[in-house]
Amino acid sequence: MSGMIGRLHVLTDPRGGRAALATLAAAVAAGAPVVQVRRKHCTDRELYDFAEVVADFCAAAGATCIVNDRLDVALAVGAAGTHLGAHDLPVAAVRKMAGPDHLVGGTARNPRQARELVAAGADYLGVGPAYATTTKLGLPDPIGPAGVAAVAAAVDVPVIAIGGVTAERVPELLAVGAWGVAVTAAVSEAADPAAATERLLQQLDRAR
Protein backbone atom coordinates (compact mmCIF):
# COMPACT_ATOMS: atom_id res chain seq x y z
CA MET A 1 0.00 0.00 0.00
CA SER A 2 1.59 3.33 -0.94
CA GLY A 3 1.33 6.59 -2.80
CA MET A 4 -1.86 8.09 -1.49
CA ILE A 5 -1.11 8.47 2.18
CA GLY A 6 -2.43 11.75 3.59
CA ARG A 7 -0.13 14.73 3.70
CA LEU A 8 -0.80 15.93 7.25
CA HIS A 9 -0.08 13.51 10.08
CA VAL A 10 -1.18 14.78 13.48
CA LEU A 11 0.55 12.94 16.31
CA THR A 12 -1.30 12.66 19.57
CA ASP A 13 0.14 14.43 22.58
CA PRO A 14 2.37 11.68 24.09
CA ARG A 15 0.86 12.24 27.53
CA GLY A 16 -2.48 11.04 26.23
CA GLY A 17 -5.59 11.73 28.27
CA ARG A 18 -8.68 13.79 27.63
CA ALA A 19 -6.83 16.86 26.42
CA ALA A 20 -5.12 14.73 23.74
CA LEU A 21 -8.47 13.37 22.60
CA ALA A 22 -10.06 16.82 22.50
CA THR A 23 -7.18 18.14 20.41
CA LEU A 24 -7.41 15.20 18.12
CA ALA A 25 -11.15 15.63 17.65
CA ALA A 26 -10.58 19.26 16.68
CA ALA A 27 -7.80 18.34 14.25
CA VAL A 28 -9.82 15.62 12.53
CA ALA A 29 -12.90 17.82 12.34
CA ALA A 30 -10.72 20.45 10.67
CA GLY A 31 -9.67 17.91 8.04
CA ALA A 32 -6.48 16.23 9.27
CA PRO A 33 -6.30 13.12 7.07
CA VAL A 34 -3.92 11.04 9.21
CA VAL A 35 -3.69 10.64 12.97
CA GLN A 36 -0.83 8.84 14.65
CA VAL A 37 -1.42 7.38 18.09
CA ARG A 38 1.85 8.18 19.84
CA ARG A 39 1.90 7.59 23.54
CA LYS A 40 4.80 6.66 25.81
CA HIS A 41 5.23 5.59 29.43
CA CYS A 42 1.86 3.98 29.89
CA THR A 43 0.67 0.44 30.38
CA ASP A 44 -0.34 -1.74 27.45
CA ARG A 45 -3.94 -1.49 28.58
CA GLU A 46 -3.80 2.30 28.76
CA LEU A 47 -2.30 2.39 25.28
CA TYR A 48 -4.90 -0.01 23.95
CA ASP A 49 -7.80 1.92 25.49
CA PHE A 50 -6.48 5.21 24.12
CA ALA A 51 -5.76 3.76 20.67
CA GLU A 52 -9.21 2.18 20.50
CA VAL A 53 -10.91 5.51 21.10
CA VAL A 54 -8.71 7.22 18.51
CA ALA A 55 -9.19 4.45 15.94
CA ASP A 56 -12.98 4.52 16.36
CA PHE A 57 -12.94 8.28 16.09
CA CYS A 58 -10.86 8.15 12.91
CA ALA A 59 -13.09 5.47 11.39
CA ALA A 60 -16.17 7.61 11.99
CA ALA A 61 -14.49 10.66 10.49
CA GLY A 62 -12.86 8.92 7.54
CA ALA A 63 -9.34 9.64 8.77
CA THR A 64 -6.44 7.19 8.63
CA CYS A 65 -5.26 5.92 12.01
CA ILE A 66 -1.66 4.83 12.44
CA VAL A 67 -0.27 3.47 15.72
CA ASN A 68 3.29 4.36 16.65
CA ASP A 69 5.66 1.55 17.69
CA ARG A 70 3.14 -1.27 18.14
CA LEU A 71 1.77 -3.57 15.44
CA ASP A 72 -0.10 -5.61 18.03
CA VAL A 73 -2.04 -2.58 19.24
CA ALA A 74 -2.63 -1.37 15.68
CA LEU A 75 -4.14 -4.72 14.71
CA ALA A 76 -6.12 -5.04 17.92
CA VAL A 77 -7.89 -1.70 17.40
CA GLY A 78 -8.27 -2.03 13.63
CA ALA A 79 -5.89 0.81 12.78
CA ALA A 80 -4.74 1.16 9.18
CA GLY A 81 -1.03 1.26 9.91
CA THR A 82 1.98 1.14 12.19
CA HIS A 83 4.95 3.52 12.39
CA LEU A 84 8.33 2.04 13.29
CA GLY A 85 11.63 3.56 14.34
CA ALA A 86 15.09 2.20 15.02
CA HIS A 87 14.11 0.86 18.46
CA ASP A 88 10.91 -0.81 17.33
CA LEU A 89 10.32 -4.10 15.52
CA PRO A 90 12.01 -4.14 12.11
CA VAL A 91 9.90 -3.04 9.15
CA ALA A 92 10.44 -6.39 7.40
CA ALA A 93 9.18 -8.32 10.42
CA VAL A 94 6.09 -6.16 10.73
CA ARG A 95 5.40 -6.37 7.01
CA LYS A 96 5.62 -10.16 7.23
CA MET A 97 3.14 -10.30 10.12
CA ALA A 98 0.80 -7.56 8.94
CA GLY A 99 0.51 -8.47 5.28
CA PRO A 100 0.47 -6.23 2.23
CA ASP A 101 -2.58 -4.12 3.10
CA HIS A 102 -1.33 -2.71 6.39
CA LEU A 103 0.38 0.68 6.08
CA VAL A 104 3.92 0.46 7.41
CA GLY A 105 5.98 3.59 8.01
CA GLY A 106 9.62 3.83 9.01
CA THR A 107 11.81 6.58 10.43
CA ALA A 108 14.78 7.55 8.26
CA ARG A 109 17.44 10.14 9.00
CA ASN A 110 19.60 9.68 5.91
CA PRO A 111 19.40 8.20 2.39
CA ARG A 112 21.02 4.89 3.34
CA GLN A 113 18.47 4.17 6.06
CA ALA A 114 15.72 5.31 3.75
CA ARG A 115 16.68 2.85 0.99
CA GLU A 116 16.95 0.02 3.51
CA LEU A 117 13.52 0.75 4.96
CA VAL A 118 11.91 0.86 1.53
CA ALA A 119 13.61 -2.40 0.55
CA ALA A 120 12.25 -3.90 3.76
CA GLY A 121 8.71 -2.92 2.82
CA ALA A 122 8.02 0.56 4.17
CA ASP A 123 5.11 2.37 2.49
CA TYR A 124 6.21 5.82 3.62
CA LEU A 125 9.02 7.39 5.60
CA GLY A 126 8.99 9.83 8.51
CA VAL A 127 12.13 11.91 7.99
CA GLY A 128 13.73 14.13 10.58
CA PRO A 129 14.22 15.80 12.83
CA ALA A 130 13.73 18.47 10.20
CA TYR A 131 14.14 21.22 12.82
CA ALA A 132 14.72 21.43 16.55
CA THR A 133 11.82 20.09 18.56
CA THR A 134 10.81 20.32 22.19
CA THR A 135 8.43 17.36 21.92
CA LYS A 136 11.05 14.62 21.93
CA LEU A 137 14.39 14.38 23.73
CA GLY A 138 17.55 12.62 22.63
CA LEU A 139 17.32 13.22 18.93
CA PRO A 140 20.32 13.88 16.70
CA ASP A 141 20.86 17.38 15.29
CA PRO A 142 18.21 18.61 12.88
CA ILE A 143 18.81 17.58 9.29
CA GLY A 144 17.08 20.67 7.89
CA PRO A 145 15.41 20.92 4.49
CA ALA A 146 18.68 19.76 2.87
CA GLY A 147 18.58 16.50 4.82
CA VAL A 148 14.94 15.97 3.92
CA ALA A 149 15.84 16.65 0.27
CA ALA A 150 18.58 14.02 0.32
CA VAL A 151 16.19 11.36 1.57
CA ALA A 152 13.38 12.39 -0.79
CA ALA A 153 15.76 12.10 -3.74
CA ALA A 154 16.82 8.62 -2.67
CA VAL A 155 13.45 6.88 -2.49
CA ASP A 156 10.16 6.75 -4.34
CA VAL A 157 7.80 6.42 -1.37
CA PRO A 158 6.15 9.45 0.27
CA VAL A 159 8.44 11.37 2.61
CA ILE A 160 6.78 12.90 5.66
CA ALA A 161 8.97 15.54 7.30
CA ILE A 162 8.84 15.58 11.10
CA GLY A 163 10.35 17.55 13.96
CA GLY A 164 9.66 21.21 14.70
CA VAL A 165 7.38 21.57 11.70
CA THR A 166 5.14 24.64 11.64
CA ALA A 167 2.76 25.92 8.98
CA GLU A 168 5.35 28.53 7.99
CA ARG A 169 7.93 25.82 7.32
CA VAL A 170 5.70 23.66 5.14
CA PRO A 171 6.54 25.40 1.82
CA GLU A 172 10.30 24.89 2.14
CA LEU A 173 9.80 21.22 3.00
CA LEU A 174 7.51 20.54 0.06
CA ALA A 175 9.89 22.46 -2.19
CA VAL A 176 12.64 19.94 -1.45
CA GLY A 177 10.48 16.90 -2.11
CA ALA A 178 8.56 16.11 1.07
CA TRP A 179 5.11 14.74 0.35
CA GLY A 180 3.74 15.90 3.67
CA VAL A 181 4.47 16.70 7.30
CA ALA A 182 3.90 15.21 10.74
CA VAL A 183 3.35 17.48 13.73
CA THR A 184 2.72 17.37 17.44
CA ALA A 185 3.24 20.79 19.01
CA ALA A 186 2.00 22.78 16.02
CA VAL A 187 -1.45 21.37 16.74
CA SER A 188 -1.49 20.15 20.33
CA GLU A 189 0.11 23.29 21.76
CA ALA A 190 -1.87 25.69 19.61
CA ALA A 191 -4.44 27.87 21.34
CA ASP A 192 -6.88 26.76 18.65
CA PRO A 193 -5.97 23.27 17.36
CA ALA A 194 -8.64 23.37 14.63
CA ALA A 195 -7.36 26.68 13.26
CA ALA A 196 -3.78 25.41 13.44
CA THR A 197 -4.77 22.31 11.49
CA GLU A 198 -6.47 24.44 8.86
CA ARG A 199 -3.36 26.60 8.47
CA LEU A 200 -1.19 23.52 7.97
CA LEU A 201 -3.63 22.12 5.41
CA GLN A 202 -3.76 25.43 3.55
CA GLN A 203 0.02 25.50 3.28
CA LEU A 204 0.09 21.89 2.12
CA ASP A 205 -2.49 22.65 -0.57
CA ARG A 206 -0.93 25.91 -1.64
CA ALA A 207 2.64 24.81 -1.89
CA ARG A 208 2.22 22.01 -4.35
Out of 81, 147, 163, 180, the residue judged to bind ligand 3NM by CB under 6 A: 163
Q: Check binding of 9 to ligand LCLJCK34 (CB under 6 A).
A: yes
Q: Check binding of 162 to ligand LCLJCK34 (CB under 6 A).
A: yes
Q: Check binding of 136 to ligand 3NM (CB under 6 A).
A: yes
Would you say 158 or 192 has its CB closer to ligand LCLJCK34? Answer: 158
How far apart CA 111 and CA 155 sit, in angstroms, is 8
Q: Check binding of 51 to ligand 3NM (CB under 6 A).
A: no
The residues in 26-85 that bind Mg ion, with binding defined as CB under 5 A, are 69, 85
How far apart CA 3 and CA 200 sit, in angstroms, is 20
* Alpha helix (H) residue ranges in 78-169: 91-98, 111-120, 144-154
Task: Find the part of the chain contacting ligand 3NM (CB under 6 A) among 25-33, 95-103, 184-192, 193-201.
Answer: 184-192
Task: Find the part of the chain contacting ligand 3NM (CB under 6 A) among 47-55, 128-136, 152-160, 196-204.
Answer: 128-136
**CB within 8 Å of 208: residues ≥ 6 apart:** 174
Q: Is 157 exposed, middle or buried (0-12, 13-18, 19+ CB in 10 A)?
A: buried
Q: How far is CA 96 from CA 79, 89, 102, 107, 119, in A?
A: 17, 11, 10, 18, 13
C-alpha gyration radius of the chain: 15
**CB within 8 Å of 95: residues ≥ 6 apart:** 102, 104, 120, 121
Q: Which does 133 bind (CB under 5 to 8 A by kind): Mg ion, ligand 3NM, ligand LCLJCK34, none?
A: ligand 3NM
Which residues are at the interface with ligand LCLJCK34 (CB under 6 A)?
9, 36, 38, 68-69, 83, 85, 88, 105, 107, 126, 136, 160, 162, 182
Which residues are at the interface with ligand 3NM (CB under 6 A)?
107, 128-129, 133, 135-136, 139, 162-165, 183-186
